[in-house]
Amino acid sequence: MSRWLPRTYLTLVYLLLYVPIAVLVVFSFNDSRTGYEWGGLSFRWYEALFNNRAMVQAMWNSLWLALSAATVSTLIGALTALALHRYRFRGKQVLNGMLFIVMMSPEIVLAISLLGLFLMVGLQLGYVSLLLAHVTFCLPFVVITVMARLSGFDERLPEAARDLGASDFTMTRTVLIPVIMPALLAGWLLGFTLSLDDVVVSTFVSGPSYEILPLRIYSMVRVGLKPEVNALGTLLLVFSLVMLMLSQWILLRSKR
């Protein structure tokens, strides 16, 4: 087969994937109000963004939510993965199946089911409901990431540590946790990004007391064009890029 055909094709698709992102970034520095033609270089939309107190508050809220959701889901997810990996217990298949269903089921189904639950138990919609929901949809991804690491984990390593005189606790501290650390970090970063990106579930389970960024963007972009969104989108893009590079770097380093 000729070589340039696949290459041209790959280039074309990548171009299509990146053109909208590039347009967004370029327009975020556009001075023009209408946003369709170039009106000169400007940082005014970034300024507008940071002068908008509600917007800044939503940013902090989102950041805090993503931080806490990623941390909680990493903790629970890592423990779940360890339990699935080490223990034999009844209903292990059911547990696995439930995690799989959470991962595969349409977000909107998860969203309405959680909304129903929170209303039934009388939970005020806000930070707590968001946290519970976000941890739930991040959980399977963390479990999978940690499980993948554990499946390549040499069962003899903990034994070797014990054999050399380490107590169970010391072994966990000096061998088990350092070895699965890359997976924990990768899982955490994944959870962080998923939480920061979520629109569907948050739309249902958030309340007026706790406004988060994706929902604020949502209300802005539904009608017309808002140049501030370009600036915000660019910031988010840079942020995710840094996070992604960080996670890839961690994974690559751990493979060596």
Partner 1 sequence: MKQTLLSLSKLSKQFDDRKVLDSLDLEILDGEFITLLGPSGCGKTTLLRMMAGFEHPDEGSITLGSQDLTHTPPEARPLNTVFQNYALFPHMSVFDNVAYGLKMEKRPKPEIKQRVEEALAMVQLEDFAKRKPHQLSGGQQQRVAIARAVVKRPKMLLLDEPLSALDYKLRRTMQVELKRLQRELGITFVFVTHDQEEALSMSDRIVVLKDGLIQQLGTPREVYERPANLFTARFVGETNFFPGRVDALNDDGTIIVDVFGLKRRFRKPDFSVVKGQPLHVLLRPEDIRVLAPGDDDGVAGKVVERNYKGSTLDSVIHLTDGTEVLASEFFDEDDPTFDYRLGEPVRVSWVDGWEWLLPEEPAVVAEEETVDG
Partner 2 sequence: MGNTLQQPFRTAVLVLVWGWLLFLVFTPNLLVVGASVMTRDPSTFISLPMNLDAYRQLLNPLYLDVFLHSLYMAAMTTLICLLIGYPFAWSLSKVARKNRLLLIFLLIVPFWTNSLVRTYALKLILATNGLLNNALMAMGIIDEPMQMLYTEGAVIIGLVYLLLPFMILPLYTVFEDLREDFLRASHDLGAGRWSTFIHVIVPLTLPGVLAGVMLVLLPAMGLFFVPDVLGGSRNLLVGNVIKNQFLDARNWPFGAAASIMLTLAMAFLMFAHRLSKRRIGEDGV
Contact pick of 63, 76, 123, 148 for partner 2 (by CB under 8 A): 76
Q: What is the per-residue binding string for partner 2 in 100-119, x denoting contact by CB under 8 A?
A: -xx-xxxxxxx-xxxxxx-x
Q: Give the DSSP per-residue string, the chain.
A: --SHHHHHHHHHHHHHHHHHHHHHHHHHTB--SSSSS---B--HHHHHHHH-HHHHHHHHHHHHHHHHHHHHHHHHHHHHHHHHHH---TTHHHHHHHHHHHHHS-HHHHHHHHHHHHHHHTPPTTHHHHHHHHHHHHHHHHHHHHHHHHHTS-THHHHHHHHTT--HHHHIIIIIHHHHHHHHHHHHHHHHHHHHH--HHHHHH--TTS--HHHHHHHHHSSS--HHHHHHHHHHHHHHHHHHHHHHHHHHHHH-
Say which entry of partner 1, partner 2, none residue 178 contacts (CB below 5 to 8 A, set by partner kind).
partner 1
Please report the sign of the dihedral spanned by the C-alpha atoms of residue 28, residue 198, residue 129, residue 187: negative
* Part in contact with partner 2 (CB under 8 A); list of ranges 41-49, 50-58, 72-80, 145-153: 72-80
Q: Which is nearer to partner 1, 181 or 221 (CB)?
A: 181
CB of 53 to partner 2, least distance (A): 21
CB of 93 to partner 2, least distance (A): 13
Contact pick of 161, 194, 205, 229 for partner 1 (by CB under 8 A): 161
Contact pick of 11, 22, 108, 163 for partner 1 (by CB under 8 A): 163
* Part in contact with partner 1 (CB under 8 A); list of ranges 76-84, 101-109, 129-137, 157-165: 157-165
Q: Which of residues 126-185 bind partner 2 (CB under 8 A)?
A: 132-133, 135-136, 139, 158, 162, 168, 171-172
Q: Which is nearer to partner 1, 37 or 154 (CB)?
A: 154
79 binds partner 2 (CB under 8 A): yes
* Total number of residues that touch partner 2 (CB under 8 A): 83
Using CB under 8 A, list all residues that contact partner 1. 154, 156-157, 159-167, 170, 174-175, 178-179, 256
